[in-house]
């Protein structure tokens, strides 16, 4: 398989009241095209910081991040914004959407701003509608964001994240604000995207969610301490049990 993301010696240091806080310490790993990689670890271990540094939402202090062979770690803010818009998709625990726009218009907005497409607005709308049908939310297209359930809103966020056909999807606790049923439904949709070829890097504290990843990285004190590859052919319950056993061995 082809390496899509290459991370080498990634460091992130914050200075708080003249004290250095080394959140990431020489983190190195690769992500291959089509993988779904989970990041787990205790609170404060650097999970979200790692995701933000890899995705260009936050500048690393040092180290290198390559996306599809291109070093993005030293790009300007304008160049990074372009990479995030055109080549990346994002799903967060908090479902950020524009309050003055309908669900459809929120999903459409990144497509309108996209620099790599010469589609007409009509073609972009058709693509948004196709995504919404695929995720079972076409009926809420004209609703305001406060008129839908949390599960529906997160599925709308997935549509928005995929509207520009990103090379990689970043997810930060995508089911963290949802109830059990909505969480399972959203993970089903994320897994379908992965099965169709979308590469995903996801932060989660939920072993049930992480067990659906092809690989899980365990981070503690700013370092990746261990890596787990999910066995194939197991039932959902056995897959979760196997991951939990690995996590317990690490002191989870």
Q: What is the pLDDT of residues 203-250, one digit of tens each?
A: 999 999 999 999 999 999 999 999 999 998 899 999 999 999 999 999
Q: With beta carbons less than 8 A apart as the criterion, state whether 232 and 53 touch.
A: no
The pLDDT-based confidence of 148 (bands split at 50, 70, 90) is very high
What is the CB neighbour count within 10 angstroms for residue 17?
A: 5
Contacts of 148 (CB under 8 A, 6+ apart): 103, 137, 140, 156
User: What pLDDT sits at residue 16?
Assistant: 80
Q: Is the pLDDT of residue 251 over 90?
A: no
The domain ranges of the chain are 3-99+166-249
Residue 116 has pLDDT above 80, yes or no: no
Confidence (pLDDT) at 17 = 79
Burial (CB count within 10 angstroms: exposed 0-12, middle 13-18, buried 19+), residue 175: buried
If one compares 17 and 197, the residue with the highest pLDDT of the two is 197
- Poorest-pLDDT segment among 13-27, 139-153, 207-221: 13-27
Spell out the SS3 assignment of 89-128. EEEECCCCCCCCCEHHHHHHHHHHHCCCCCCCHHHHHHHH
Three-state SS sequence of the chain: CCEEEEEEEEEEEEEECCEEEEEEEEEEEEEECCCEEEEECCCCCCHHHHHHHHHCCCCCCEEEEEECCEECCCCCHHHHHHHHHHHEEEEECCCCCCCCCEHHHHHHHHHHHCCCCCCCHHHHHHHHHHHHHHCCCHHHCCCEHHHCCHHHHHHHHHHHHHCCCCCEEEEECCCCCCCHHHHHHHHHHHHHHHHCCCEEEEECCCHHHHCCCCEEEEEECCEEEEEEECCCCCCHHHHHHHHHHHHHHCCC
pLDDT, tens only, 33-80: 999 999 999 988 999 999 999 999 999 999 999 999 999 988 999 999
pLDDT for res 117: 72
- Higher-confidence position of 74 and 117: 74
pLDDT of residue 164 exceeding 80, the answer is yes
Fold category of 3-99+166-249 in CATH: Rossmann fold (3.40.50)
Mean pLDDT of the chain: 93
Share of the chain above pLDDT 70, in %: 100
Please report which confidence band the pLDDT of residue 107 belongs to, taking 50, 70 and 90 as the band edges. very high
Q: Per-residue pLDDT averaged across 179-183, rounded? A: 88
Q: How many CB atoms lie within 10 A of CB 149?
A: 13
Q: 46 and 40 in contact (C-beta within 8 Å)?
A: no
The pLDDT of residue 129 is 96
% pLDDT > 90, the chain: 81
Write the Ramachandran bin of 230: left for phi over 0, alpha for psi from -120 to 50, otherwise beta. Answer: beta
Checking if the pLDDT of 166 tops 90, the result is yes
């Amino acid at each position: 398989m082809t390496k899509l993301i290459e991370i080498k010696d990634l460091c992130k240091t914050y200075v708080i009241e003249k004290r250095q806080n080394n959140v990431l310490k020489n983190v190195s790993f690769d992500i291959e095209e089509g993988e779904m990689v989970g990041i787990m670890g205790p609170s404060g271990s650097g999970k979200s910081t790692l995701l933000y540094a890899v995705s260009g939402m936050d500048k690393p202090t040092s180290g290198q991040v390559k996306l599809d062979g291109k070093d993005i770690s030293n790009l300007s803010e304008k160049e990074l914004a372009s990479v995030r818009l055109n080549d990346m998709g994002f799903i967060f625990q908090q479902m950020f959407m524009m309050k003055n726009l309908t669900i459809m218009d929120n999903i459409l907005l990144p497509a309108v701003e996209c620099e790599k497409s010469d589609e007409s607005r009509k073609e972009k709308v058709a693509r948004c509608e196709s995504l919404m049908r695929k995720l079972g939310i076409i009926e809420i297209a004209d609703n305001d964001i406060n008129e839908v359930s949390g599960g529906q809103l997160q599925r709308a966020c997935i549509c928005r994240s995929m509207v520009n056909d990103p090379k990689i999807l970043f997810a930060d606790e995508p089911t963290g604000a949802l109830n059990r049923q909505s969480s399972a439904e959203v993970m089903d949709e994320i897994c379908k995207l992965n099965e169709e070829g979308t590469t995903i890097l996801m932060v989660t504290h939920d072993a049930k969610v992480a067990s659906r990843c092809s690989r899980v990285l365990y981070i503690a004190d700013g370092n990746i301490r261990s890596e787990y590859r999910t066995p194939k052919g197991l039932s959902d319950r056995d897959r979760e049990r196997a991951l939990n056993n690995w996590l317990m061995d690490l002191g989870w």
